């Protein structure tokens, strides 16, 4: 597969075209941002970890019936993926209160919900990714109602799978954000990444944060936390 021109550079990844119009190459960077790019930094080795973790998890999800953009890991930082049109929706599942949920509703972090919650944000940096409901997403033509139902169905399967996987690693899955894309034939597939950048992961015994909140909140030990969760995931057979 031949890497061609760069199509796009985001906050954490670059995307390249290839000689196959249906295939793109994603290249993971060590750059880290938070608060809509206000806070900038770098997490050494993050790109390698996020690439490898995302690929392992997406391969596991394929087996659970969730189609993904994953094709093939090409190198430590690069992966061939299906070309998709990203639905401009951030899909967030929460099992435990934290982050913007706690802030918005004025509750402490760590409340375990009886059932997972799902919410959507409009993926639009200029607007600060505002929260929206199903009807808003459809009114804005971000997707159809049918596509939204598919997205929701897949998102809860992703939650069940990730919760189980992380549990075997001694890690509690607090919440996560995923994104979906549409292939040229209209199939909805899981895209973007699943990594400590996009999940809240707490050590099951100590409650220690093992995700990007260490960067967001200046807790220190960021690289060590990413390496720790990756090590545990490798040890757990998927």
Q: How many residues bind ligand TMP (CB under 6 A)?
A: 12
Q: What is the separation, in whole angstroms, between the first and last Cα of the chain? A: 28
Residue 102: which H helix or E strand, with range?
Answer: helix 99-105
By CB under 6 A, what part of segment 32-91 binds ligand TMP? none
By CB under 6 A, what part of segment 169-188 binds ligand TMP? 175-177
* Calpha distance 151→143 (Å, rounded): 10
Q: How far is the CB of 3 from ligand TMP (least distance, A)?
A: 26
Note whether 65 and 187 are within 8 A (CB): no
Q: How far is the CB of 210 from ligand TMP (least distance, A)?
A: 12
The tokens describing 12, both together, are: 């954490």
Residue among 137, 135, 180 at smallest CA distance from 157: 180
198 is an interface residue for ligand TMP by CB under 6 A: yes
99 is an interface residue for ligand TMP by CB under 6 A: yes
Q: Judged by CB, which is closer to ligand TMP: 175, or 228?
A: 175
* Calpha distance 102→106 (Å, rounded): 5
Q: How far is the CB of 155 from ligand TMP (least distance, A)?
A: 12
Other Cβ atoms less than 10 A from the Cβ of 47: the count is 23
The dihedral of CA 210, 211, 216, 220: what is its sign? positive
Residue 40: which H helix or E strand, with range?
Answer: strand 39-42
199 is an interface residue for ligand TMP by CB under 6 A: yes
Q: How far is the CB of 120 from ligand TMP (least distance, A)?
A: 11
| Residue selected from 92, 173, 188, 189 as contacting ligand TMP according to rule CB under 6 A | 92
Q: Judged by CB, which is closer to ligand TMP: 17, or 30?
A: 30
By CB under 6 A, what part of segment 106-135 binds ligand TMP? none
Chain contacts with ligand TMP (rule: CB under 6 A):
92, 98-101, 175-177, 197-200
């Amino acid at each position: 597969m031949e890497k061609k021109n760069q199509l796009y550079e985001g906050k954490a990844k670059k995307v390249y075209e290839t000689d196959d119009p249906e295939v793109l190459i994603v290249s993971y960077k060590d750059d880290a941002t938070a608060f809509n790019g206000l806070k900038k930094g770098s997490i050494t080795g993050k790109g390698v970890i996020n690439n490898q973790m995302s690929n392992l998890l997406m391969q596991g999800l394929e087996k659970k019936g969730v189609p993904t953009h994953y094709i093939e890991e090409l190198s430590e930082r690069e992966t061939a993926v299906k070309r998709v049109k990203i639905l401009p929706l951030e899909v967030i599942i929460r099992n435990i209160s934290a982050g913007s949920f706690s802030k918005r509703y004025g509750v402490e972090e760590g409340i375990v919900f009886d059932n997972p919650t799902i919410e959507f944000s409009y993926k639009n940096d200029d607007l600060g990714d505002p929260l929206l409901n199903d009807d808003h997403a459809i009114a804005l033509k971000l997707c159809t109602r049918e596509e939204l139902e598919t997205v929701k169905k897949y998102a809860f399967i992703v939650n069940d799978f990730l919760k189980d996987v992380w549990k075997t690693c001694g890690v509690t899955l607090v919440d996560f954000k995923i994104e979906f894309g549409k292939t040229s034939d209209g199939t909805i597939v899981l895209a973007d990444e699943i990594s400590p950048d996009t999940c809240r992961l707490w050590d099951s015994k100590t409650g220690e944060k093992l995700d990007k909140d260490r960067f967001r909140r200046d807790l220190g030990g960021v690289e060590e936390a990413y390496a720790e969760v990756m090590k545990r995931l490798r040890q757990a057979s998927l």
